[in-house]
Amino acid sequence: MLAPMTTTLDEPATHATDLAAPGVDAPRRPLTNRVLRGSLDDPAWARPGLLALLGATAVLYIWGLGASGWANSFYSAAAQAGSASWKAFFFGSSDAANSITVDKTPASLWVMAGSARLFGVNSWSILVPEALEGVAAVGLLYASVRRWSGPAAGLTAGAVLALTPIAVLMFRFNNPDALLVLLLVAGAYATLRAVETASPRWLMFAGALVGFGFLTKMLQALLVVPAFAIVYLVAAPTTLRRRIAALFAAGGALVVAAGWWVAIVSLIPASARPYIGGSQHNSILELTLGYNGFGRLTGSETGSVSMGNMWGETGWTRMFSSEIGGQIAWLLPAALILLVAGLWATSRAPRTDRTRAALLLWGCGCSSPGWSSAS
């Protein structure tokens, strides 16, 4: 005879992981929960605080944006040209007839011209992308600082960026600086990820982001490279040989990301492309090293920013002038003091100490916004 069959009911599982078989990933939380709640490791106020910060930043940067009209009409005209001609779009031409380019590499124009193609040519379609780049930069800065220092520090860093006067001006205008800052903050985030696990892929991604920063505002983007390289070389948890190899790979990614457009423009005969604006001999290399390079520091380059004093002073001291000092220079002494104090406090820490690595990254990399404002 068959024995009587009995069943035993287990107690209900109280966590999603209790339902998962060994070796099987637990079910993911619904998207709305992940967006509104964030990481389960964060305190309950962290994600609402971030959403409030991003919302307030968006209002600050977008409210009344139409009052700026065409903002920098030089770049607005190029965006209009790019919305009408793909050739003008690629080269960053000032006009749809492709007679001459603007005096910068065209990555920031690609964003504005793409928006103008989708939504028509008006001040909102040109300026709103700049404001959204600012919101994204604040969000990325929060994510970067939060990884190693927690959500409170991340919210503080994001709020400081959002409220710094030069940032408010920059993200409500259509100069290339908005995209440049977004790309460099993204590069810093990728560098932090690379340092955590000694990941060459993340470091190459950081190099590629800086390379696209070059396509936005040329040499200004490269000022963060020493900071990124030093942080990885000092703090990545792997052997010196592998750290050096990863830096060379990242350098290659930077060159490819920055150089493909320059190579194409250089190889196309001058008769088949627009004149390179800002150069004296129709040369992208001359534009890079002259007008947008050393000419920004010395003011001695023909056609540089000092001609007729159109854009004010040149050189590093411009950051401390009465015109710009109140927008950014007030942050620099505090940053320098905190950097020195932090490095002294972590002087006995292990090589891979993340606090010291973060100090080196943000402290040494802060020269990039200064360069941008000085140019």
Two structure tokens written together for 277: 């604006």
Domain count, the chain: 1
Residue type, 239: T
What is the spatial distance between Cα 339 and Cα 172, in angstroms, rounded to a whole number?
Answer: 30
Based on its alpha-carbon atoms, the radius of gyration of the chain, rounded to whole angstroms, reads 24
Two structure tokens written together for 146: 């939060």
What is the spatial distance between Cα 187 and Cα 257, in angstroms, rounded to a whole number?
Answer: 13
- Sign of the dihedral defined by the CA atoms of residues 308, 311, 314, 319, in that order: positive
| 144 belongs to a structural domain | yes
Tell how far CA 264 is from the center of its chain: 25
Q: What is the pLDDT of residue 307?
A: 45
* pLDDT tens sequence across 103-118: 999 999 999 999 999 9
Note whether 29 and 18 are within 8 A (CB).
Answer: no
| 86 belongs to a structural domain | yes
* pLDDT tens sequence across 224-269: 999 999 999 999 999 999 999 999 999 999 999 999 999 999 999 9
Helix (H) or strand (E) holding 65: none
More reliable by pLDDT, 13 or 291: 291
Whole domain around residue 166: which residue ranges?
44-175
| 104 belongs to a structural domain | yes
One-character DSSP codes across 34-56: HHHH--TTS-TTHHHHHHHHHHH
Two structure tokens written together for 263: 């190579």
pTM of the model: 0.84
* pLDDT tens sequence across 65-118: 988 889 999 999 999 999 999 999 999 999 999 999 999 999 999 999 999 999
pLDDT of residue 157 exceeding 80, the answer is yes
| 145 belongs to a structural domain | yes
Name the burial class of residue 17, with classes exposed (0-12), middle (13-18) and buried (19+) by CB atoms within 10 angstroms of its CB: exposed
What is the spatial distance between Cα 187 and Cα 231, in angstroms, rounded to a whole number?
Answer: 12
% of the chain beyond a pLDDT of 90? 63
One-character DSSP codes across 235-265: H-SS-HHHHHHHHHHHHHHHHHHHHHHHHHH
Note whether 106 and 258 are within 8 A (CB).
Answer: no
pLDDT of residue 212 exceeding 90, the answer is yes
| 157 belongs to a structural domain | yes
| 133 belongs to a structural domain | yes
| 112 belongs to a structural domain | yes
